[in-house]
Amino acid sequence: MSGITAQIEKLRERRREAQARRPKRAVRICTTGCRALGALEVHAAFQKELASAGLAGEVALIKTGCQGICAGAPVISIDPEGILYLGVKPQDVPEIVRATLVGGKIIERLCFQGAQGAGPIPQRAAIPFFAAQKQIVLARCGRIDSTDIKAVVAEGAYEMLERALTEMEPQAVINEITISGLRGRGGAGFPTGRKWSLARAAQGDIKYLVCNADEGDPGAFMDRAVIEGDPHAVLEGMLIAAYAIGAQHGYVYVRAEYPIAVEHLRIAIAQAGEWGLLGENILGTGLKFNLAIKVGAGAFVCGEETALMASIEGKRGQPRPRPPFPAQSGLWGKPTNINNVETLANIPAIMRMGGAEYARLGTATSKGTKIFALAGKVNYTGLVEVPIGATLRQLFNDIGGGGPAGSSFKAAQIGGPSGGCVPAQYLDMPIDYETVKEVGAIMGSGGLIMLDGATCMVDLARYFVEFCAKESCGKCPPCRIGTTRMREILERICVGQGVPEDVARLEELGSQVKKNSLCGLGQTAANPVLTTIRHFRSEYEAHVKDKHCPAGVCRGLISFTILPDKCICCGRCAKSCPVPCIDGKVGKAPGRATDRDREQGKVGKPFEIQAARCIKCGACYDVCPVDAVVRR
C-alpha cells in the first residue's frame, strides 16, 4: 500500500480536466458491430451535416462500441435527451440534424416501436429491452469512445486502481472480491476470490496473469463487445488482480477473428503505458506489470486454460491433465492466474460498489450480473446484462420482446455448443450456475439462443456435435472418437437411416465422453445431445421410427408436393428451383380460365415436382404465394 504519489496527483488532474471537457450534447454511433450495416457511412454523413449546419463545435460526434440492441443496427443515441434511433441510414442523417438536433422533434419511424397500440418509444431508458436490464459491466459500453483514454478516465476508469494501490493491502483486495461472491464468467463458475487466493499463496519469483478472450462459441460476442466498447475496464481489472496476487507479467489471449477488439486493445494498452498505468513503476507506487497481446489462431479448444497456456508458449494448443493447476505451475512452469474478460471487467465495479453490495445482486450461490448474447427466434436480439437468477421468460419476453409473429417459444440453447437445451416448461426457471446444471445445461460464457417450433432438436444436436468434433484437438480418444461417432449417428438419423438402438447408443456414448474426456470441451460436448434426448425424446423417435422430421427441417425425411387444385400456374416455383425439377406451364389456372383464355392458349398447366430429381432445398416452398407447395 502506497501513499498519494505525484503520478497519482497528475492522473487525478487529468481526470478533472477531462470531466470539465465532457460534451453537453452528443451523438453516439455504434461503429463496431453496426459497421457491418453501414455505421461508418452514417458517421461520415453526420460529420458532413453537422459541419453544414454549423453544429460541429456544439455537438460531439462519438464513435462507440455496442449499444446493445443489435436487432436495430445501425444504432445511434442523442444526449442529453436520451433519444435512441434504430436502423439509421446515411440518408436519414440530414433529417435527424434538422428535425431533432435543431428543431427538437422526434422522428417516430426511427424510434423503437412498442407493443401494439403503445406507439414509438424515443427514450432509451423507457425501452423494455433496456429497462429490464441491470448494466454494471456494460455501463460505459456504447457511451464512450473506447480509443480515447481521456474520455474513459473522465467516466471513472482507473479510480479503483488508485484506491487499491493507496488504501488497501493485496489481501484486502482479495477479501473484497471474495465477499462479492464473484464467480468466473467463462463458464466453469469457479469462485474468483478463491482463485486469486491460490495464486497469491503460490510460491514463485515470477507470476503471470492471463485474460482469456478466446471466445469461440457460435453466436457469442460478449467478450468481444466488452473489449471493443470498454477495454480499459478489462485493463483496470487486470491491474487490480496483478496487485492482489503479485503478478508482474500479463497476456490477453484474444481471437484473430476479432480484429476490432484487437485494434482497440492495442490502442488501450499503448495509451495506458503512456499514462503510467502499465510498466515498471505504475503511478509511482512500485507496482510492476507489463502486458502483451497474444492473438490466437481460432482453435475453440484454446479457450481451455491449459491449452491456452500451451498456445501462448508457442506450442500446439492442447490441454494437459491437472494437477498441477495453473496457480501452481502455469506459463513456463510459473504460477499463473487466468480469468476471462467479463470476470475482470467486473473487478472495478465491485471495488466501487463494495463486495457486500455487489453480493446483493443475483441468487444465494450465484452473485452479480451476467451478460448474454441474446440471439435466435426473438424480436430484439443483442447484448444484455441481467442479474443472475433472471428467468428465461424475462429474457425472452421482457427484454427480447417475444418471438416473431407466428412463432412460439420451444426451447433455449444455453451455454454455447457444449451447453444444453432447456425446454419451454422451464421458462420461469432462474438462470444460475446450479439450477441450469440441474436440467442438463451449463451457464457457459453467455451464449443464449432462443428456439421456436421450426427448430429440429435432432438437427440442432447434430450441428453442435459436429462443431465440437471438428474443434476437438484430438489428444484424448473419448473426445476425438466419441464426438465423431455421435456425429455419425446423428447424421444417419437426420437422413432417415436411423435404427431404434441409435438413441440408446447416443446416451451411452455421451455419458462416456463426459466422464472420460481430458478437458472441458469433451466433458461438455455431449450436453446438446443428452439434453435434447432428455427433453425431446419424441422427436428422436419420430426420426427413427416414423422416418419423419416434425419440424420439417431434415431434408432426408421431408418431401415437397404441389397441390394441383391450389396451383395458380404462376411459375415462381420453377423459376426458383436450382436443379430444375419442376414442370408445368405458366398461364391461367385451369379452374379459373375462361373460354377466351382457352381460345388464346393462355391456360396454364399446374406445376409438378419430379421427386427423383428434387434436392429438397425448399426454394419452391418459400416462394409460392398461395401455399400450394406442401412440405410433408
Note the pLDDT tens digit of each residue in 370-413: 999 999 999 999 999 999 999 999 999 999 999 988 788 999 99
C-alpha cell at 594: 375462361
Residue 561, SS3?
A: strand
CA dihedral 524, 525, 526, 528 (to 10 degrees): 100
The whole-angstrom separation of Cα 28 and Cα 12 is: 26
Residue type for position 470: K
The whole-angstrom separation of Cα 474 and Cα 131 is: 46
pLDDT at position 412: 94
442 pLDDT more than 90: no
Q: For the purposes of burial, counting CB atoms within 10 Å of the CB of 251, is it exposed (0-12), middle (13-18) or buried (19 or more)?
A: buried
**Which tops the pLDDT comparison, 447 or 292?**
292
Note the pLDDT tens digit of each residue in 147-164: 999 999 999 999 999 999
Q: Which CATH superfamily is domain 25-79+83-122 in?
A: Glutaredoxin (3.40.30.10)
Q: How confident is the model at residue 279 (pLDDT cuts 50, 70, 90)?
A: very high
Element (H, E) at 527: helix 527-544
**Which tops the pLDDT comparison, 443 or 158?**
158
Residue 338, SS3?
A: strand
Q: How confident is the model at residue 5 (pLDDT cuts 50, 70, 90)?
A: very high
User: Is 369-452 a CATH 3.10.20.600 domain?
Assistant: yes
Nearest one of 454, 448, 450, 517 to 483, comparing CA atoms: 517
Mean pLDDT of the chain, nearest integer: 94
- pTM for this one? 0.91
Averaged pLDDT, 490-507? 95
Structurally, what CATH architecture does the domain formed by 457-544 represent?
Answer: Up-down Bundle (1.20)
- When the candidates are 2.40.128.110, 1.10.3720.10, 3.40.250.10, 3.40.50.11540, the CATH number that belongs to 149-359 is 3.40.50.11540
117 pLDDT more than 70: no
Q: Dump the DSSP string for 124-141.
A: GGGSHHHHT---STTSST
The whole-angstrom separation of Cα 229 and Cα 219 is: 18
DSSP 72: G
Class of domain 559-631: alpha beta
**Which tops the pLDDT comparison, 193 or 187?**
193
Q: How confident is the model at residue 329 (pLDDT cuts 50, 70, 90)?
A: very high
Averaged pLDDT, 33-45? 97
The whole-angstrom separation of Cα 600 and Cα 102 is: 63
Residue 32, SS3?
A: coil
The whole-angstrom separation of Cα 585 and Cα 494 is: 34
Note the pLDDT tens digit of each residue in 410-439: 999 998 888 899 999 999 999 999 999 899
The whole-angstrom separation of Cα 55 and Cα 68 is: 27
C-alpha cell at 474: 484430438
Note the pLDDT tens digit of each residue in 508-552: 999 999 999 999 889 999 999 999 999 999 999 999 999 999 998
* CA gyration radius, the chain: 28
Q: Both ends of the chain: CA-CA distance in Å? A: 72
CA dihedral 49, 52, 56, 58 (to 10 degrees): -100
The whole-angstrom separation of Cα 163 and Cα 264 is: 26
Q: How confident is the model at residue 556 (pLDDT cuts 50, 70, 90)?
A: confident
High-pLDDT (> 90) share of the chain, %? 87
Q: How confident is the model at residue 187 (pLDDT cuts 50, 70, 90)?
A: confident
- Dihedral over Cα of 258, 263, 267, 273: its sign: positive
User: What are the b/e assignments for 86-95, b being 16+ CB within 10 Å?
Assistant: bebebebbee
C-alpha cell at 10: 497528475
The whole-angstrom separation of Cα 236 and Cα 229 is: 14
Phi/psi zone of residue 429: left (φ > 0), alpha (ψ -120 to 50 degrees), beta? Answer: beta
Phi, psi for 304 (deg, rounded to 5) = -75, 135
CA 148-150-154 angle, to 5 degrees, is 125
C-alpha cell at 89: 441510414
Note the pLDDT tens digit of each residue in 357-378: 999 999 999 999 999 999 999 9
The whole-angstrom separation of Cα 54 and Cα 203 is: 63
Residue type for position 397: N
Residue 167: count of CB within 10 angstroms of its CB? 13
Phi, psi for 340 (deg, rounded to 5) = -90, 175
pLDDT at position 388: 96
pLDDT at position 1: 65
pLDDT at position 186: 85
Strand bridging mode 26-30 / 60-64: parallel
Q: How confident is the model at residue 222 (pLDDT cuts 50, 70, 90)?
A: very high
Where do we find the cell 428422436? 540
Please answer whether residues 266 and 227 qualify as being in contact, where contact means their C-beta atoms are separated by less than 8 angstroms.
no
Residue 255: count of CB within 10 angstroms of its CB? 22
The whole-angstrom separation of Cα 384 and Cα 66 is: 11
Domain boundaries, the chain: 25-79+83-122, 149-359, 369-452, 457-544, 559-631
